[in-house]
Structure 1
Amino acid sequence: MSTPAISENPAHQGSELPAQVLRPLRAGFASVLLFVLIFTGWAALAPLATSIHATGHLNAPQPNFDIQHPFGGDIKAVLVKEHQSVTAGQILVHMDVSNEIAQRAQLQKSLQLLLDQRDALAWALNLQAGESVAPARPDAPLQTLNHRPELSFESDQPLPAPQATEQTSRSTTQSARRIRNMMEALHVRRDATTQTAEAMRNRAAGLENSLLARTQQRASMQARFDRYSTLVQTGALRASDNDTLLEAMLDLDASMRAERAEVNALQTQTAQVALQIKAEELELRQKLLDRQGQVAEAIPRIRMQILRLDAQVRSAELRAPTDGTITRLHYDTDQMFVPRGETVLTLTRPTQSHRVSFVVPPHAIDQTRIGMQGHLTVSSLPQRNHPKVRVQILSLSPEARRNNDGMVLGYDGVATINAADMKELRAQMGEGLTLSIDMPVSLIFAGRETTFSDYLIGPFLDFLAKALQD
């Protein structure tokens, strides 16, 4: 059997292919060419976007309450437990303020005593000045003192005695009595000194009368001495008699000088006694003024202490500011001590709406911006019937989160959940859906927009252009 000869001429060989073979080849070539043209147009024009994956968790839009005690102290009773639901105004913890109550009562007594002393001092100072001024407080028992308007240290009338009534407090009576005793002692010293001065004045007056009589006697003796001197010259009288009269006159002059010196001394002592009385009055007034200043400084200080203790007593009961659940109870036992400003418990408010706290990877932060939209997936829910839930970035931290070694972990962000999508999610999942705070979720955001040509072919063309330049 003979084999047909095959022509070695290509043109002659192509012309020998049957139409049944050439037709599929031409159709395939056209299809490939059309596909390449369509793919090239799509690669050059169709937009693509990179995906940004982020992990996060649900949180509440309303922050938790960290309930603290402004003063601290011992706990008397803890009335709640962890994870217990409470209502607004409910007492959570009762602090022990028995010491503060006792201190406040003692300070109030001290304050009342100081107020009584202030009124008594004002009464004494006005009385010392010779004025009649009623006490500052209308219920002060000093009103019962029967003092007269004209009474002062310049009068000889006795000081009034305080008369206690049913409204008179014991502290007020004691304060008034102490000041009254001080004033009476000064009054007694003034009377004694005045009597001494009066005796000195009487003694000086007696000496003045004696000097007047002696002056007259001296004049009589001088006249007689003159007559004797004339008789001695005529020889009618002896000179010795005249000398005796002269010596008597000299003795009388010496005695008169001594009495005059005593009168001057008595007058000086009388003036000193008057100055001593005035000095004692001023010294007592200065003591009263000093004590009045001390009382005036102590009253505001004690009032501030009372106000602080009142605030502590009012803060004895820690109440829930709103409805919520006790998520963390730092002090759960009676008799524990709470430092000032320390958090006692944390209260989480119930919410039906959530936000998403997430972390953007460091390599994608340049593609992430506020207002960017994405999709949320709750990892713990079944994914086959999980509806699409849209989210929108609300805020981004400008500073990266770092670990203990300083390595960048990502950038914190907060996103809001579309209310309609959340409603659809609840309707789709039904009663089995339970969204809790800190539930893990995953997020996908559309990143930088590009084309397939720029993403795949562009880098190759750039590399080829640089290679040709080299």
Structure 2
Amino acid sequence: MTGLVSAEYHHDFGRIVLKGMLVCILFVGGFLAWATFAPLGSAVVAPGVVKIWTNRKTIQHLDGGIVRAIYVSDGSTVKRGDPLILLEDTTTSAALNILTDQLDALSVQEQRLLAERGMMDHFAPPEELAARKDPRLTALYQSELSLFKARRKNLNDQIKLLSDGITQSKVAAASVRSEIEAINEGLSYTDDVVKTIAAMAKKGFAERTSLLQKKEALAEKKERLHSQTAELANLQKQITEQELRIIALRNSYMEEAETNRKKTHEQILEIEERLRPARRAQERSLLTAPISGQVMALAVNTIGGVIRPGDSLLDIVPQENDLVVEVKIGNRDIDNIYLGQSAEVQLNAFNRRTIPLVDGWVTYVAGDTQEDPSAPGALYFMSHIQLDQPQLERMTDITLSPGMPVTAFIKTRTRTFLDYLISPITDHWRQALREE
């Protein structure tokens, strides 16, 4: 009886052990499967603060000067482009006016020279100058127009003188041609008469004296023909020379105009180069607000006071700007951070149980480290996280302000539990294999 009970007991105990081992195997196997395949989210934790995207702007002046007018005071609200401070610009304005006058005069002169180069009968002032309707510019144009007309009249007078000479030479040439034609006709007749008298003289029907007279007359006609032919050639040469002189006068007129135009254009470019800094200096005499916001730390209070170059005159604190989270990324975590990376931001100033995490994404990662002033020797990378604006607008029970502390959870790649366990070992093993 006792042996039977003992056998049943051992049989039940064996089944219990078997079931226990099976449960352990299933548990360990399930755990290993979970550790190997189940993804676990990971994140870089970074402390930070809420900041205004556009920081306050400090207004300075490059050149300095004497204060002529102050348009704002501490606490004034300004919009972008509003005047802030006006400085004296007497010297700058005088220099700018002189350069502008010179540029206007040269521009009209260049227009006149362009008309001369193109042998135009008239020229108009540059369109940009004509649009200003300035009496001074009208006087400049009239002066250049008078010079244009005088130079053109001088050219035309010289051309007319040569043209008149050409006309006279052509009339004389026509007369000489007529005379040559008449001489040729008389020469042909006289030649026939000489031949007839010579034939008759051989037969004794005519005297030799008559023959000699006719030959002498024939020779005179030939000499006259030669002289008139030379005269005609000389007249034609004069006509050609005068026509070439007219062409040369026109070419010289146009070449001189082009040479002077190039010099004038070089002077225009030089003055325009000098005008740029003068105009910028005049524009800088009126300081305007680069952004909309509130004036703070106004350091200028006296009309006629002197401002040194580079002095800080006032600050403008922007009022309506998007908020951004500025966080500090540790050196060891920077390789896991990239632009556009998702993040969740915990607002430490509010109750964590009632205020959810705010979604965001990385918009900026610094290219180099900087030292943390609160922990000497500690280096970090600065990064910005843009918060999800629609989500913030739905959270009507909170108001974000610059300076609020936050904790950012920047999501990195998913890893398994097994990765977390063995990665220190594998990293150490890789490093050990590289060591000599």
TM-score (norm: length of structure 1): 0.49
Change (3 A) 1:401 1:231: closer
Residue 318 of structure 1 deviates from its aligned partner by 1.8
Residue 175 of structure 1 deviates from its aligned partner by 0.9
Residue 193 of structure 1 deviates from its aligned partner by 0.9
Matched to 1:64, the amino acid is N
Task: Indicate which of 276, 284, 291 corresponds to 2:245.
Answer: 276
Q: Deviations over 1:185-204 (max 9, x none)?
A: 22111121122223322332
Task: Indicate which of 120, 145, 152 corresponds to 1:176.
Answer: 145
SS across alignment from 1:64: coil
Change (3 A) 1:307 1:409: closer
Structure with bigger gyration radius: 1
Task: Indicate which of 236, 256, 268 corresponds to 1:267.
Answer: 236
Change (3 A) 1:259 1:318: same
Tell me the residue number matched to 2:297: 326
In the alignment, does 2:63 pair up with 1:73? Answer: yes
Unaligned segments of structure 1, at least 5 residues: 1-52, 141-165, 378-387, 424-434, 447-470
Residue 266 of structure 1 deviates from its aligned partner by 1.4
Matched to 2:236, the amino acid is Q
Rounded Cα–Cα distance in structure 2 between residues aligned with 1:298 and 1:214: 66
In the alignment, does 2:336 pair up with 1:336? Answer: no
Tell me the residue number matched to 2:97: 105
Tell me the residue number matched to 1:5: none
Rounded Cα–Cα distance in structure 1 between residues aligned with 2:287 and 2:104: 31
Tell me the residue number matched to 2:215: 246
Preserved contact between residue 395 and residue 413 of structure 1 (Cα < 8 Å): no
SS across alignment from 1:169: helix
TM-score (norm: length of structure 2): 0.52
Preserved contact between residue 100 and residue 309 of structure 1 (Cα < 8 Å): yes
Preserved contact between residue 117 and residue 255 of structure 2 (Cα < 8 Å): no
Residue 181 of structure 1 deviates from its aligned partner by 1.9
Q: Deviations over 1:37-92 (max 9, x none)?
A: xxxxxxxxxxxxxxxx9987x765364332456x9433333988xx9544426755
Tell me the residue number matched to 1:188: 157
Preserved contact between residue 365 and residue 383 of structure 2 (Cα < 8 Å): no
Q: Deviations over 1:194-218 (max 9, x none)?
A: 2222332233234334434544553
Rounded Cα–Cα distance in structure 1 between residues aligned with 2:361 and 2:137: 70
Residue 263 of structure 1 deviates from its aligned partner by 0.9
Identity %: 12
Preserved contact between residue 204 and residue 266 of structure 1 (Cα < 8 Å): yes
Instruction: Count residues in correspondence.
Output: 330
Residue 287 of structure 1 deviates from its aligned partner by 5.6
Rounded Cα–Cα distance in structure 2 between residues aligned with 1:223 and 1:363: 129
Question: 5 Å matches for 1:1-400?
Answer: 60-61=51-52, 63-67=54-58, 72-77=62-67, 85-88=75-78, 92-114=84-106, 116-117=108-109, 120=112, 169-215=138-184, 217-219=186-188, 221-222=190-191, 224-226=193-195, 228-235=197-204, 238-239=207-208, 242-243=211-212, 245-281=214-250, 283-284=252-253, 312-320=281-289, 321-326=292-297, 334=306, 336-338=308-310, 346-348=315-317, 370-371=343-344, 373=346, 375=348
SS across alignment from 2:52: coil
Tell me the residue number matched to 1:150: none
Rounded Cα–Cα distance in structure 2 between residues aligned with 1:314 and 1:422: 41
Residue 256 of structure 1 deviates from its aligned partner by 0.9
Change (3 A) 1:84 1:257: same
Q: Deviations over 1:273-309 (max 9, x none)?
A: 2343245345545665787798899989978987886
Residue 114 of structure 1 deviates from its aligned partner by 4.9
Q: Deviations over 1:305-331 (max 9, x none)?
A: 8788656534422244421422999xx
Preserved contact between residue 75 and residue 93 of structure 1 (Cα < 8 Å): no
Matched to 1:326, the amino acid is A
SS across alignment from 1:323: strand
Rounded Cα–Cα distance in structure 1 between residues aligned with 2:408 and 2:214: 144
Rounded Cα–Cα distance in structure 2 between residues aligned with 1:312 and 1:402: 37
Preserved contact between residue 99 and residue 275 of structure 2 (Cα < 8 Å): yes
Rounded Cα–Cα distance in structure 1 between residues aligned with 2:298 and 2:354: 28
Rounded Cα–Cα distance in structure 1 between residues aligned with 2:347 and 2:255: 84
Rounded Cα–Cα distance in structure 1 between residues aligned with 2:63 and 2:109: 35
Residue 422 of structure 1 deviates from its aligned partner by 8.9
